[in-house]
Amino acid sequence: MENAQMIIYFLIICIVAGIFSTWLYLLLFMIKSLVQSPRLESIKNINNNFPRVSIIVPARNEEKYIRKCVDSLLKQDYPNFEIILVNDESSDKTLEIMKEYKKSNSILKVLNVNQPGDDWIGKNWACYQGYLKSTGKLLLFTDADSYHSEITLSLSVQNINHYRVDAITVMPRLICNDFYTQVTLPILTTFLHTRFSPLKVNNAKSKLGYFFGSYFIIKRKTYEKVGSHAAVKHEIIEDGALGKKVKEENFKIKMLRGESYVQAIWARNSSELFKAIDRLVIPLFKENRVKSTLLSIALFFLLIFPFVMFFLSLTLLGIHPNAFDFVVLLLTGSTLLILVLTNLIQLSSTLLSKKIYSLGGIVGAIIIVSRFFSRLLISNRKSIVKWRDRLYKIPSNQSSAL
């Protein structure tokens, strides 16, 4: 009996030590990525080359956000661009607002499109229709709830010319509007930014490619050669899929940190936060059921297990002190400190939120893990995602962003 107990103790210590090591790696890699990743910045002594840029803005039910987005785009100091606003079957006043802007701005076009009803999903169709009406040698795709510094476009073109790349995507500063998003997004961004770090995406030897939907600018010829949004029309996370395709076909991508120049809203409220996580989970399940199940289990151990074991060992130490519980308490306590520090760095560097929310990791952890498990169970029966008031049936050839 004592041998069995010792084996259990040993396994628990191995698990918490592994969790601690994983979080330590995430922290160190995140710091390395933030420090070493190139930034969107002014390039000195560069030729004055101003190719025409078509800014394509797909929008569905964006009446609360699109004014601020369009205002920021109209203020761009770049001398040669057009703006194409694409209304994607909005049921609010989005189209009316677009038409108001068109009356007083000659560089602005407005398209009102309807989904074709086949296997086009998400905003792919709206982006594609915007491209068809565009005239620029460079295409900038950005979301209607993103906001831009007036020099962002100029810097982007400078960097494309300087690095001699086919596309640039900019990491935005993410805006958090509600409590649940503010305690959850730091954890999510830690995983996503580690997975799609500029250090990996910018590595020519890696096939890993990714675009941030809030801001990516691509050469027209490159966009057409990879098949445009038509090539990823079945993808619910189309920006990531398009970036992946561009990199896989040996075009050059540069991912730059641009938190000072672009702001974007990842989730507008708690309900949209849950749906945004769904967009990550269900495609993953469709792509690989075993991988998705293992990832969900891993997230439980990384996010929930340390809290459980910390408070359990703390309680047991108060009742009957022993070396085993002390080691578990030390490892789990250190893990939780790393989690708080990781969240704090994210809130300071990539998110627009108060640093106090770095202490809400347990709430964010419960949200992420519970959503993963609940959606995995549901996706066994029905692979449907609701996003921006529209239901999407996820096809079997869906690829995952994770």
Q: What is the pLDDT of residues 102-111, one digit of tens each?
A: 998 989 999 9
Six-digit token pair at 1?
């009996």
CA–CA separation, 192 and 186 (whole Å):
10
Same domain, 133 and 216: yes
Matching residue, tokens 């540069």: 254
Which range is least confidently modeled, 170-184, 295-309, 366-380?
A: 366-380
Q: What CATH number does the domain containing 109 carry?
A: 3.90.550.10
Same domain, 26 and 64: no
DSSP 194-214: HHT-HHHHT-TT-------TT
Residue 191 lies in a domain: no
Same domain, 123 and 164: yes
Q: What is the pLDDT of residues 307-348, one digit of tens each?
A: 999 999 999 888 888 888 899 999 999 999 999 999 999 999
Give residue 199's pLDDT: 95
Six-digit token pair at 199?
């250090």
Same domain, 154 and 28: no
- The amino acid that residue 103 corresponds to is K
Longest distance between any two alpha carbons in the chain, whole Å: 82
CA–CA separation, 361 and 384 (whole Å):
29
Same domain, 292 and 259: no
State how far the alpha carbon of 33 is from the alpha carbons of 27, 29, 202, 401, in Å.
10, 6, 11, 19
Same domain, 138 and 233: yes
pLDDT classification of 43: cutoffs 50, 70, 90? confident
Tell how far CA 22 is from the center of its chain: 21
Same domain, 125 and 260: yes
Same domain, 127 and 232: yes
Same domain, 116 and 255: yes
Which range is least confidently modeled, 43-47, 175-179, 201-205, 241-245?
A: 43-47
Same domain, 68 and 22: no
Count how many domains the chain has. 2
Residue 14 lies in a domain: yes
Residue 402 lies in a domain: no
Give residue 221's pLDDT: 97
Range of the domain at 164: 53-172+212-266
Same domain, 148 and 254: yes
CA–CA separation, 9 and 255 (whole Å):
45
Judged against a pLDDT cut of 80, whether residue 399 lies above it is answered with: no
